[in-house]
Amino acid sequence: MSAIEVGLVGYGTAGAHFHAPLIEATAGLRLAAVVTRDPARAAEVAGRYAAVAVPDVELLWDRCDLVVVASPNRTHGPVATEALTRGKPVVVDKPLAGGAEEARSLVALARERGLMLTVFQNRRWDGDFLTVRELVDGGALGEVLRFESRFERWRPAPKGGWRETGGAEELGGLLYDLGSHLVDQAIQLFGPVREVYAETDVRRAGVASDDDTFLALTHAGGVRSHLWAGAMAARPGPRFRVLGSAAGYLKHGLDVQEGRLRAGISPATPGFGEEDEDLWGTLGSGEQAVSVPTLPGRYLDFYRGVVACLREGAAPPVDPGGVVDALAVLDAARVSATQRIVTHLI
């Protein structure tokens, strides 16, 4: 069976470091064309992937069977809409759209056209998150009371670019960027959110969008999730702290897959998602704690799921309906931070 020809829209951080290498390493997919106007990026696309670089998305449609949208956030909804209208199944990087309402329209369009629509929520396949999920589902923590999750960095000098200099119209800032992962993971673990409280601040000169963000979620089942995303964390907190009635789990450091992708290591390399033992988290209570092996991360499972969906009729690797729920939480968080109120969803 011939490979599914993939058209990638955008070759910035998401396209170059995540989507392109994962597509290349997935059996059944071939990166056929990439939309980029940058000559250096176009040369890399041709040299590394033997793919065609085109300067405009309108030149992409006839070159691919599947469209992957990894362009700036504000373009996700419009480009995905155009692709679905042209009869193409679509993968969209997070956030799926500019808010829950636009996302619902995309989901409805995909359903109407009978096309796959899925979202690259790759952090569902982080090794540390898979480990947390196993501990929660297996009852090792008892009844979970509080979930803490952080993506914190020490980046006092802005890097520039639309993520930092763009305002709300660009969907820049951390709320809709890293917040998309934080909220998605919390909902995956503990279900629907009833109440949202949020704080968003701009701490660095020259930055237009939030770079210091906190969300407090109350889930319908009673668990409280506290979520942080920040660029001014001189002393970052733990990646995860999960407190239960029987034990707690504490984990520092980030999943290893992003760093290895940025270093140019192929995700098909044996041991790609495995974490060194000295980075494992601990499980226990009081003064007693034991190391817990971190499960291997599995980013490749996302695109393998895309192939299974298109070839075998399997469910998409990420249900876009669930992502709409997470965007509704982010929309509520923006209202909460702006009006300094607790917002209620259900």
Query: Could you read off the pLDDT of 99-117 as tens digits, one per residue?
Result: 999 999 999 999 999 999 9
Alpha helices in the chain (DSSP H): 13, 20-24, 39-49, 76-85, 100-113, 127-138, 162-165, 178-190, 256-262, 300-312, 320-339
10 Å Cβ neighbour count for 85?
11
Query: Could you read off the pLDDT of 46-59 as tens digits, one per residue?
Result: 999 999 999 999 99
pTM (2 d.p.) = 0.96
Confidence at residue 166, expressed as pLDDT on a 0 to 100 scale? 78
Query: Could you read off the pLDDT of 5-37 as tens digits, one per residue?
Result: 999 999 999 999 999 999 999 999 999 999 999
Confidence at residue 182, expressed as pLDDT on a 0 to 100 scale? 98
10 Å Cβ neighbour count for 230?
23
pLDDT band at 231 (very low <50, low <70, confident <90, very high): very high
- Assign 334 to helix, strand or coil: helix
Q: State yes or no: pLDDT of 148 exceeds 80.
A: yes
> What CATH class has 127-297+328-344?
alpha beta
Q: State yes or no: pLDDT of 170 exceeds 90.
A: no
CATH for 4-122+302-315, among 1.20.1370.20, 3.40.50.300, 3.40.50.720, 3.30.465.10? Answer: 3.40.50.720
Q: What is the mean pLDDT of residues 275-300?
A: 97
Confidence at residue 169, expressed as pLDDT on a 0 to 100 scale? 74
Q: What is the mean pLDDT of residues 82-94?
A: 98
Confidence at residue 168, expressed as pLDDT on a 0 to 100 scale? 73
Q: pLDDT > 70: what percent of the chain?
A: 100
Token pair for residue 114? Answer: 């009978």
Confidence at residue 163, expressed as pLDDT on a 0 to 100 scale? 86
Q: State yes or no: pLDDT of 161 exceeds 90.
A: no
Q: What is the mean pLDDT of the chain?
A: 96
Query: Could you read off the pLDDT of 176-194 as tens digits, one per residue?
Result: 999 999 999 999 999 999 9
Confidence at residue 171, expressed as pLDDT on a 0 to 100 scale? 84
pLDDT band at 341 (very low <50, low <70, confident <90, very high): very high
The answer to whether domain 4-122+302-315 and domain 127-297+328-344 are alike in fold is: no
Query: Could you read off the pLDDT of 257-286 as tens digits, one per residue?
Result: 999 999 999 999 999 999 999 999 999 999
Q: Which residues pair with 201 in a beta bridge?
A: 212
**What are the sequence ranges of the domains in the chain?**
4-122+302-315, 127-297+328-344
165: left (phi > 0), else alpha (psi -120 to 50), else beta? alpha
CA-CA-CA-CA dihedral for 71, 197, 216, 346, to nearest 10: -90
